[in-house]
Amino acid sequence: MGNRSSLLLQEEEIAQISEETGFNANQIERLYSRFTALDRGDCGTLSRDDFLRIPELAINPLGERIVNSFFQEDQSNDRVNFKQFMRVLSHFRPIKKNKENKLNSREEKLRYAFKMYDLDNDDLISKEELLAILHMMVGANISEEQLTSIAERTILEADEDGDQMISFEEFCKALQRSDVEQKMSIRFLN
């Protein structure tokens, strides 16, 4: 399998992906190997079902939302190619001093997190969307009244313009003191 992945990925492609995402050649080759292992149809793209075969995503309460994030770039397509796959993964690269790229900047990490909550893609988070995400995360472990209270309090604290919604700017301000760079980073092996 290692031969197969290195044969199909050209050096120019590796350089282009590295430039765009900040991953080094070793990381790209390892992730390509993982990508091709997930590609059961052997067609160079992944479907939603391919993603859901990843055990960590299958058991994650937000797994479906995470999988959807890979398809946001081109919602008309039901498959993701390797470059699209890498662009989404780059949001989770740790930020290194003086080596931040656009896709893993603090703002892009926050934008990615915001989209997890923005279920209808209207660039606003409503109380209903917040409740839906809370339901996904905690299931039946917390009462409906407690969840509603959490959602209402969150909207009240973050909503600065009084529209009962959280905009991206309000979301960023609410998370101003949060270490998003650390919390939204995955260590990718070299």
- The SS3 assignment for 47 reads strand
Q: pTM for this one? A: 0.80
pLDDT per residue as tens digits for the range 114-144: 999 999 999 999 999 999 999 999 988 899 9
| Residue 144 CB contacts under 8 Å (≥ 6 apart), including other chains | none
Model confidence band, residue 101 (pLDDT cutoffs 50, 70, 90): low
pLDDT per residue as tens digits for the range 54-86: 888 888 888 888 898 888 765 667 899 999 999
Q: What is the rounded CA–CA span in Å between residue 54 and residue 10?
A: 26
Question: Which of these CATH numbers, 3.40.50.720, 3.30.2320.50, 1.10.238.10, 3.90.1170.50, describes 102-183?
Answer: 1.10.238.10
CATH topology of domain 2-92: Recoverin; domain 1 (1.10.238)
Q: DSSP assignment of 115-137, as one string?
A: HHH-TT-SSEEEHHHHHHHHHHH
Residue 13: predicted pLDDT: 93
What are the extents of the domains in the chain?
A: 2-92, 102-183
